[in-house]
Amino acid sequence: MATTTTTVAESCTAAKQAARVLGRASTEAKNTALEATARLLEERVGEILEANAADLADERAANLSTALRDRLALTEARVKAMADGVRVVAALDDPVGEELERKTLASGLDLRKVRVPLGVVAVVYEARPNVTIDCAALTIKSGNAIVLRGSSYADHSNTALAAIAREALAEAGLPADAVLPLSGGGHEELAELATQEGLVDLLIPRGGEGLKNAIKAVATVPVMYAAAGNCHVYIHAEADLEMARRIVVNAKTQRPGVCNSAETLLIDAAIAERFVPAILSDLAEAGVELVGDERVRALAGDAVVGAASEEDWDAEYLELKLAIAVVDSVEDAVEHVNAHGTGHSEAIVTDSEAAADAFVAAVDAAAVYVNASTRFTDGFEYGMGAEIGNSTQKLHARGPIGMRELTTFKYVARGDGQIRE
């Protein structure tokens, strides 16, 4: 189903009108739209994969790294996973109308604090077509309209997926313009989207520091950044080293092109001589390019470890590359993480409760793990069904952005004639 609007302003206006309808829709109607979306994804898998093949065949995609092409690529299994994710969202409780607080005031007024949709959410995202469906599912269930500006690398895929969500909304008797894709525009379009005051209630950019800075320079609408993930794993002196090896390899290699993969490994000096050769072997076998500080390189033996630059400690590689440093204590590890991390996901591997507690308390990040991979920072893994991204901010949401993070609240006061003296 083609969109009927062409300009950013027209799209946002149409989305605002749709949001007013969707925000009052019943849970049953929203779930009907989600069930239809899941069904159509499975029925149209051939069309979706054909569109995705066109994106992958485009000459622009040829220059993408292996990890970024993996983010762009769809398979029958990935489309099925999208459909399953939509059904999970449909099965979750509807956040709209949830009563957060209730009390009777001295005046006799009955005061309730209830959850309501934000209105129009705009998302700017990289070449990951599944984000189109994740965003649509979460905003439909939370009563919001969404304006989607995906990467031009994924135009064919995103258009096909957004069309399915729009058809499902219409099938459920809800406005199709509650899901509106933008395509074909450049930086001017991004700036226009970021300045749609009165129409866009929240803009969520998913991407690196370049996108974040571009939005910051022009935005006049509220922005919640789902920004870069420079994530660390710290192996403490009292770690189970076999466990540590599994966690490090998983955090780096399970899907290196995503924001919750590890980019830096910190190893306590007390176990460095034993642990460094083993983990370098594991990572090299997995095809990871390694850079390290002088202490790591001195213990590398035959392993190839390049010299880490200052830029490496701040890098979000999004590929099979890892920076490694030796630190002298939990405090030093925390200092390194807080100096170079992006506030996304950080992990400590240790058998010491005291060390774990110290790390958790001191690290400034949206998600902190003890004896687990950073790869779990994910809306689906957290029981949210899906996510729009991971917020590295502290207001108004932090970590995976799910349905409740797409709502605000209002106070509703009921009386029987009270006036204020």
Average pLDDT of span 18-33: 98
> What is residue 226's DSSP assignment?
B
* Tens digits of residue pLDDT in 163-218: 999 999 999 999 999 999 997 667 788 999 999 999 999 999 987 778 888 899 99
pLDDT band at 5 (very low <50, low <70, confident <90, very high): very low
- Of the listed ranges 62-76, 103-117, 292-306, the least confidently predicted one is 62-76
- Specify the 3-state DSSP secondary structure of 198: coil
Model pLDDT, residue 209: 78
Model pLDDT, residue 184: 60
pLDDT at 2 over 60: no
The verdict on 236 and 217 lying in the same domain is: no
The verdict on 191 and 207 lying in the same domain is: yes
The verdict on 221 and 246 lying in the same domain is: no
Q: Which of 181, 73, 183, 206 is nearest to 130 (CA)?
A: 73
The verdict on 396 and 353 lying in the same domain is: no
Average pLDDT of span 215-228: 91
41 occurs within a structural domain: yes
Average pLDDT of span 294-312: 97
341 occurs within a structural domain: yes
The verdict on 251 and 192 lying in the same domain is: no
* Tens digits of residue pLDDT in 241-267: 999 999 999 999 999 988 999 999 999
Model pLDDT, residue 185: 65
The verdict on 102 and 191 lying in the same domain is: yes
CA distance 126 to 149: 9
The verdict on 243 and 198 lying in the same domain is: no
State how many domains the chain has. Answer: 2
What b/e readout covers 289-310, taking b as 16+ CB neighbours within 10 angstroms? Answer: ebbbbebbbebbeebebeebee
Model pLDDT, residue 1: 42
Average pLDDT of span 140-160: 96
The verdict on 83 and 215 lying in the same domain is: yes
CATH number at 261 reads 3.40.309.10
Please list the residues that pair with 146 across neighbouring strands.
121, 179
Q: Which domain holds residue 76?
A: 8-226+388-414
The verdict on 46 and 141 lying in the same domain is: yes
251 occurs within a structural domain: yes
CA distance 375 to 385: 16
DSSP string, 299-351: T-TTS--EEPPTGGGG----SSEEEEEEESSHHHHHHHHHHH--SSEEEEE-S
2 occurs within a structural domain: no
420 occurs within a structural domain: no
pLDDT at 4 over 60: no
421 occurs within a structural domain: no
The verdict on 235 and 352 lying in the same domain is: yes
244 occurs within a structural domain: yes
**Is 55 in contact with 157 (CB distance < 8 Å)?**
yes
pLDDT at 318 over 60: yes
The verdict on 315 and 402 lying in the same domain is: no
Average pLDDT of span 228-235: 95
CATH number at 167 reads 3.40.605.10
pLDDT at 71 over 50: yes
What percent of the chain has pLDDT above 90?
85
The verdict on 55 and 74 lying in the same domain is: yes
What value does the mean pLDDT of the chain take?
A: 94
3 occurs within a structural domain: no
Residue with tokens 């905003």: 139
* Tens digits of residue pLDDT in 74-133: 999 999 999 999 999 999 999 999 999 999 999 999 999 999 999 999 999 988 899 999
Kindly tell me the burial class for residue 413, based on how many C-beta atoms sit within 10 Å of its own C-beta (0-12, 13-18, 19 or more): exposed
Model pLDDT, residue 212: 85
